[in-house]
Structure 1
């Protein structure tokens, strides 16, 4: 069996009806049975509910690709699809050509407003997952259960992960917890600092509750530490106070105690059997049969394939949607764009045949090189093409931790050694035959570029560019930034997305972010 507990929806009469929306965060769960009664009937009931919480980041709903947990389009609104849309399309490396009712605003980093449905989708997904986690924590407190502390730790991590994207993307919102559950009045708005402190404390508590190792797809100590390290990496952006010393501490724990290692081949991490990886710290699970979605890696893979010059079966797909292409801001990082003569294996993961190097028209499929980094073929054995992807999304992986450590060292974090950082960077590069660099090469600009070479299309790029001071303004331009072919300056207000109009209308205590 390929996947483990996280891909399954155990069919039981759930004590918690998984519903939630931004307009009614404190809706009481509809109870058919008490959790004690439910556990008597099915000892796996809590595992099923927990599975649904994990799946809320990858799937649209419980009944296949056409179902949705929220009152939004099932195909367009899944959490992971939102991460890709808002973290990658708005940045330098990937552009989408479809222009669907607001998608142009993302891919050109321009004309953002509170009515854009893609901002609403992610905001609604965040505030779908949070109340469900609150519900489960409430009922867990009333029962005796094996591994109860561990399950509590997992739920608190899941809730913290949802809040992390609220902090990163929107900067503020309401703080819905099990403590204020059932409040009839609209919750007050809380700022980034308060959300940061809450998530930090939740992750520290979850770390204590979580085991050193867990089943594939479930949180362990390293997973909580990775999210905590990411929170600390971006603390200067989120709170105005840098926390790179703390980030380095938790990254070191992951590297030294987690038991992870770099996979021998880069492509294996993004293939249909990547559940065998020893590098992936935390995946969002996909399965072509059991967890179908238009919003997991199906979106990345099918969206990056076209039928004009590409054979879909070589990437394990049955459909090509001709949507996503990389720009020279990504493939130009390899040997100054001379991909054919680059020794870096990662430089070969672009489809160049029939496509132009320059993206003169972002709506033209053949302008820019599609990324073939993700694919649905198995790496370790033969496989057949499928309409939906079985490739898990590596939300956290060791190479990212290595590069985070190196960045901390370059930024002068206490306890981070430059010589150790050099070893980590060269381990990442040598895995892809990119060649070693010298310690003098480790500058912030180099780290930013190396993160692009290694991690683009993995939901990090916008946050990285903001942290490096390269997202807004004109110090770094990329194709179609600010809706011009060669890029132009964009205002600092774009470091946050606008609060969706539907959320503002649902809670009079919420206010719009500056500049919108």
Structure 2
């Protein structure tokens, strides 16, 4: 939950930037010099760029990171719901085109974030900051905030697309893409500036959505950690150094939260683990970042389960990729070639997260999933409305048409293109209150960077260095909070990279990073998972530049392996 000061800044922030529609007093005809007459209004101009970052984390950008992987799917229902022109299936099968709306929106989101951040930097240059009582230190820190944010947008773009046109401040005009290495170096310099000039988090401070030295250091570690897919160069030792420094408190006091509710709960901005959050708030529904998650994932009548009439009805869309085949057997046991995916099945039965979610009142809740027969707190069943019309919704960890195949066997089809209504376990990553506490709805912030990620980066670095025992110790320090007595399935001293991939998946399930991890580990285009055969085409580690962007700027060149005309992936003989 963001601070009151931050809420007010975000509300003001729409005054000058047209993408931020706050329904507040209209200042669109004014200029920064006239508007920014107080320190609070200067902060508002800066905050608007951070609003774009918050919006960037959801919807299509999230789909691009999740639907193309082994952990999340959006299956087509027997009723035809969620076919949506086949776009989600194409993401799952790695058959996307350069006209894909998910990819187009992702590219636009990157470049809009770059534009808004640079616009805020330009506004700062036009304001007499000293005249309104802001000193040189404020100016330096504020510029470092925006430069680090600019680096974050470019790092996301580098991750999705490779090299991009580079802009900084009052710098406009059509230009070609920089190389991936030039983009990498540009980002690196911005994060190093942030480490030097941003403030250090103070003990006990809540995370308010702005950046600190710790956040800049963590982002630089992320950049180095993924340098192999970004620029073809190993920088794991540099990432390891930064991770150790963050853990040891060089960039501020951060600790692993001993209570897993602290990371995702209603007051998670106060968790000692948080390094950089994206604020969310009930009182400002446009910043209620998880309303989209709720609507697109939960069963239609799920308000009965949550005893919350404030939220919209569910749309029964995305869910966890299945762990089991139609006969109820784990894919990883039935088919030894499949080592990835099946997140629900890889959670130990005593893992506290695996319990079905239930709100207990007074901000307390248990569990993180919806599975099995669903009923509200008083026992009222959650009823289906399509294939399960007139029946209780009974969520299963399988994907098939159970109404058509009531007695499934080895020949029963299991595909993303045809499943019934109750297929798929649902993730309740962030808590939903009941009507009695409805003002808590959407109050959990998005944990953009948290200390557990730093531990996991360090663990993978140690694993790559041939030290699996050290890696396991780091992983198990985080895992221990999910068990009442002792971990039922701790990472072993002999852990391998597949176990590391599972640990990334389970800890950060649904947090919009899975594609990046699979690419870095070499699995994204080379490993099978449910209903997915690997292409072995490494061009697919980057998305194409969307066709509309190429049409708007003839200086842009398409990524290797894609058709400039919007027809998708080139066949090998066409390359």
The answer (yes or no) to whether the contact 2:319–2:425 under 8 Å persists in 1 is yes
> In structure 2, what is the equivalent of residue 313 of structure 1?
306
Q: How far is 1:274 from its partner?
A: 2.1
Residue 352 (str. 1) matches residue 371 (str. 2): yes
The secondary structure found in structure 2 opposite 1:445 is helix
Say if 1:504 and 1:105 are closer, same or farther in 2 by CA, change over 3 A: farther
Cα deviation, 1:170-203, whole Å, max 9, x if unaligned, reads 1122112226x144xx212212111111001111
> In structure 1, what is the equivalent of residue 473 of structure 2?
423
Q: How far is 1:343 from its partner?
A: 1.6
**2:349 alignment partner, one of 339, 342, 351:** 342
The secondary structure found in structure 1 opposite 2:73 is strand
Q: How far is 1:14 from its partner?
A: 7.8
> In structure 1, what is the equivalent of residue 176 of structure 2?
188
Report the Cα distance in structure 2 between the residues aligned to 1:17 and 1:156, rounded to whole angstroms. Answer: 18
Residue 138 (str. 1) matches residue 122 (str. 2): yes
Q: Give the alignment of 1:204-215 within 5 angstroms.
A: 204-213=192-201
Cα deviation, 1:325-365, whole Å, max 9, x if unaligned, reads 10235997899966897222233333221123222243534
Say if 1:4 and 1:234 are closer, same or farther in 2 by CA, change over 3 A: farther
The answer (yes or no) to whether the contact 1:279–1:398 under 8 Å persists in 2 is yes
**2:105 alignment partner, one of 117, 121, 145:** 121
Report the Cα distance in structure 1 between the residues aligned to 2:253 and 2:474, rounded to whole angstroms. Answer: 15
Q: Give the alignment of 1:66-465 within 5 angstroms.
A: 79-97=57-75, 98-101=82-85, 103-105=87-89, 107-142=91-126, 143=128, 144=130, 145-146=134-135, 147-178=138-169, 181-183=171-173, 186-213=174-201, 216-257=208-249, 258-292=252-286, 296-307=289-300, 311-313=304-306, 317-328=311-322, 342-348=349-355, 349-353=368-372, 354-359=394-399, 360-362=414-416, 364=419, 365-377=421-433, 383-384=437-438, 389-412=442-465, 421-433=471-483, 434-435=487-488, 437=490, 440-465=493-518
> In structure 1, what is the equivalent of residue 565 of structure 2?
none
The answer (yes or no) to whether the contact 1:226–1:250 under 8 Å persists in 2 is yes
The secondary structure found in structure 2 opposite 1:32 is coil
The answer (yes or no) to whether the contact 2:267–2:443 under 8 Å persists in 1 is yes
Report the Cα distance in structure 2 between the residues aligned to 1:488 and 1:334, rounded to whole angstroms. Answer: 13
Q: How far is 1:311 from its partner?
A: 3.6
Q: How many residues align?
A: 471
The answer (yes or no) to whether the contact 2:323–2:345 under 8 Å persists in 1 is no
Q: How far is 1:129 from its partner?
A: 1.5
The answer (yes or no) to whether the contact 1:94–1:325 under 8 Å persists in 2 is yes
Q: How far is 1:429 from its partner?
A: 1.2
Report the Cα distance in structure 2 between the residues aligned to 1:341 and 1:200, rounded to whole angstroms. Answer: 39
The secondary structure found in structure 2 opposite 1:281 is strand
Cα deviation, 1:292-316, whole Å, max 9, x if unaligned, reads 258x322223333114577442588
User: More displaced, 304-313 or 216-225?
Assistant: 304-313
Report the Cα distance in structure 2 between the residues aligned to 1:337 and 1:119, rounded to whole angstroms. Answer: 28
- TM-score computed with the length of structure 2 as normaliser: 0.74
Q: How far is 1:157 from its partner?
A: 1.3
Report the Cα distance in structure 2 between the residues aligned to 1:122 and 1:241, rounded to whole angstroms. Answer: 25
Q: Give the alignment of 1:13-28 within 5 angstroms.
A: 16-18=16-18
Q: How far is 1:324 from its partner?
A: 1.4
Q: How far is 1:452 from its partner?
A: 0.9
Report the Cα distance in structure 1 between the residues aligned to 2:511 and 2:218, rounded to whole angstroms. Answer: 15
In structure 2, the gaps of 5 or more residues are 21-27, 76-81, 325-329, 333-339, 356-367, 373-393, 400-413, 563-575
Say if 1:340 and 1:111 are closer, same or farther in 2 by CA, change over 3 A: closer
> In structure 1, what is the equivalent of residue 42 of structure 2?
46
Give the greater-gyration-radius structure (CA). 2
- TM-score computed with the length of structure 1 as normaliser: 0.82
